[in-house]
Amino acid sequence: MAALSDKLADAYQNARPRYPIDWFTKLAARTGQHKLAWDVGTGNGQAAIGLAEYFEKVVATDINEAQLKRAVKHERISYHHTPTTMSEDQMVALVGGDNSVDLIVAAQAVHYFDLAPFYNITKRVLRKEGGLIAVWVYNDLVISPEVDAIMKRLVDSTFPFRTPIMNLAFDGYKTLPFPFEGVKGMGCEGKPITLDIPHKLSLKGFIGFLRSWQPAMKAKERGVELVTEDLINRFEEAWGDDDDVKDIFYKAHMIVGKLSVNSFYFDYNIHSYILSCFNESFLI
């Protein structure tokens, strides 16, 4: 993820939704214990706060210091800056050690990771009995027919600037390699479940969302401004009353997995092998 300035980090925090508490309720109900959760790529702690309602301790990590400065404080959450120079052993020790984590969450984040080392770390720290990993992404928002039509044209304009990482998100994780056994009713590799995230959004918050949106930032890095003043004016006209706070929802896609018996015996190579979804008859 591109590093955010303090101003853009504020915009990111204000526009992004809080994840529904029932997601965490359902995930906690499927884990064997509730001692330790790891929110990896925590950003400003949106998922960590939800995890803290159900787990005794939450370790929340991110490489972006600007985001961590704005993280929501909680007595059961410890936030840690984790630069890319950290080794796998250092990450395992920081998180809690081998076979220690009951639930790993990567919210709007896993597509930015170097997947091979991340999955190796996950397989070490996740509890072999009862541990779960949940990843999700939201890749669209529904506001109103007028605003949505303009947003679609903006989304289409990002095609020349998308990276393979962004395409994982735009695809709703349908193409995300996920070397874990699926959990019944919670998706599996190639077949994420689709969920809605309700949110209230002001025009100011929406413009902040656009300016901190990764595809627009990538285009700007290449000298192309997608979020122009003309585009903002069109959004303002379509929005209506500038003071109107709208009830919107983000479209989200989630996959939940656990360690399979086979994963105890082989190292996952992201470039050479992709596990297929398990048949539901084998799921718990």
Residues 238-244, mean pLDDT to the nearest whole number: 92
pLDDT, residue 17, reads 83
The pLDDT tens digits of the residues spanning 190-235 come to 999 999 999 999 998 899 889 888 899 999 999 999 999 999 999 9
Are 39 and 105 contacting, i.e. CB atoms less than 8 angstroms apart? yes
C-alpha 284/C-alpha 198 separation (Å) is 29
The pLDDT tens digits of the residues spanning 100-153 come to 999 999 999 999 999 999 999 999 999 999 999 999 999 889 999 999 999 999
Backbone angles phi and psi of 255, in degrees to 5:
-130, 135
pLDDT at 4 over 70: no
Q: Give the confidence band of 15 by pLDDT, cuts at 50, 70, 90.
A: low
What is the dotted CATH code of the domain comprising 21-130? 3.40.50.150
11 token code pair: 């915009």
pLDDT, residue 209, reads 86
pLDDT, residue 242, reads 86
Average confidence score pLDDT of the chain: 88
194 token code pair: 């689709």
Nearest Cα to 215, choosing from 165, 143, 145, 148?
A: 165
195 token code pair: 């969920």
pLDDT, residue 271, reads 37
pLDDT, residue 262, reads 65
Burial tier of 241 (Cβ tally within 10 Å: 0-12, 13-18, 19+): exposed
Beta-strand relationship, 77-81 and 132-142: unpaired
The pLDDT tens digits of the residues spanning 64-96 come to 998 899 899 999 999 999 999 999 999 999 999
The pLDDT tens digits of the residues spanning 26-69 come to 999 999 999 999 999 999 999 999 999 999 999 999 999 988 99
pLDDT at 257 over 70: yes
Which comes out higher in pLDDT, residue 264 or 74? 74
Which comes out higher in pLDDT, residue 8 or 173? 173
pTM of the model: 0.84
Residues 237-250, mean pLDDT to the nearest whole number: 93
User: Residue ranges of the domains in the chain?
Assistant: 21-130
pLDDT at 280 over 90: no
- Cβ-Cβ contacts under 8 Å for 254 (sequence gap 6 or more): 23, 134, 135, 136, 173, 186, 187, 192, 193, 195
pLDDT, residue 38, reads 98
